[in-house]
Chain A
């Protein structure tokens, strides 16, 4: 008997979870991290960054299970989301503020939409508090200081169209000095409409 859609989605979510953990060896810039998701990574000046596509069905499975209604689930499933891993591989603390990051597309350069702005949208849509709490903690922290050896994972929501491409300008500060890297030609999951 074929698995039900819900069981299939749960399995997809588990596969995504596993791929996120196992992607360390397999992922290359533009490579496949597992489950059909592509991954991009780069390390510069003591910062390691990896973006791995989270496919729409994986997002549906995750947020349905946490109490998002179908309309809200569909909104985020199409918002071009990446599992993001950031590590301080240097010897001094570094400070990351997502407000400093930029998406460079053929339509221009713009900042990422803030977590607070998303949370306000979910509240306005009537997404219940426990579901908003899950969103808040599953999303990559807006601002964080990473001591040497610290690292974090979380969802980065670019809100770009399915199948579109962008460069991600990543900026941080270390010892009061601004540093940066660019992840080039990152591709949103899905087909362009």
Chain B
């Protein structure tokens, strides 16, 4: 039973109901605010600093292995990662309150390997500095390191509407004035 459980979970995830497949959208922020910087280790103990990703569009996801919608959206994040491989795009998935063993065990249950960094916010201190009320919550950062969109709840991240958001942000050249709200560079 224990060995079959991940298979059973995967099968039932594939059968998730229509309510879990609502229109995919992310909410644009009326005013793009600077993303709070952080430095966190990933599951391979490599350190990542958010500010080092300036110049790229970043999908920043807060999640946990026990959170059903978090688990469900992970494969679509991997597909998005593959779609934009080699472009100015990054995904950082920040697990909250768990250790590398538990996160690693979760990755083994997936049919698709996750190639983007899985960061560990073991004590939740980083997440407290972000406007997160529940898991999963995802932020999309523009090239200037500002929060441009947010999405509460799971998504199919390779859905055309969301892919278009990433492409739109990547097409932006950034701004010379951070107070100009994401206006593309002339």
Contact across chains for A22 and B17 when beta carbons are under 8 A apart: yes
Contact across chains for B134 and A21 when beta carbons are under 8 A apart: no
Given contacts A22-B17, A25-B15, contact A89 B22 (CB under 8 A): yes
Q: Which residues of A contact B2 (CB under 8 A)?
A: 3, 7, 10-11
Given contacts A85-B19, A134-B66, A141-B134, contact A11 B1 (CB under 8 A): yes
Contact across chains for A22 and B16 when beta carbons are under 8 A apart: yes
Chain A residues 27 to 53 lying within 8 A of chain B, measured CB to CB, are: 27, 48, 50
Q: Does B118 lie at the interface of the complex (its beta carbon under 8 Å from any beta carbon of A)?
A: no
Contact across chains for B1 and A144 when beta carbons are under 8 A apart: no
Query: CA–CA, A133 to B24, complex, Å?
Result: 29
Contact across chains for B6 and A151 when beta carbons are under 8 A apart: no
Given contacts A146-B152, A151-B153, contact A140 B134 (CB under 8 A): yes
Q: Does B151 lie at the interface of the complex (its beta carbon under 8 Å from any beta carbon of A)?
A: yes
Contact across chains for A24 and B5 when beta carbons are under 8 A apart: no
Q: Report the interface size for chain B: residues with CB under 8 A from the other chain.
A: 41
Given contacts A14-B5, A26-B17, A62-B66, contact A144 B123 (CB under 8 A): no
Query: CA–CA, A28 to B23, complex, Å?
Result: 22
Q: Does A180 lie at the interface of the complex (its beta carbon under 8 Å from any beta carbon of B)?
A: no
Query: CA–CA, A87 to B2, complex, Å?
Result: 32
Contact across chains for A151 and B152 when beta carbons are under 8 A apart: yes
Partner of A21 from B13, B123, B135 at Cβ < 8 Å: B13
Q: Does B79 lie at the interface of the complex (its beta carbon under 8 Å from any beta carbon of A)?
A: no
Contact across chains for A15 and B96 when beta carbons are under 8 A apart: no
Q: Which residues of B contact A21 (CB under 8 A)?
A: 9, 12-13, 16, 20, 68-69, 72
Q: Does A18 lie at the interface of the complex (its beta carbon under 8 Å from any beta carbon of B)?
A: yes
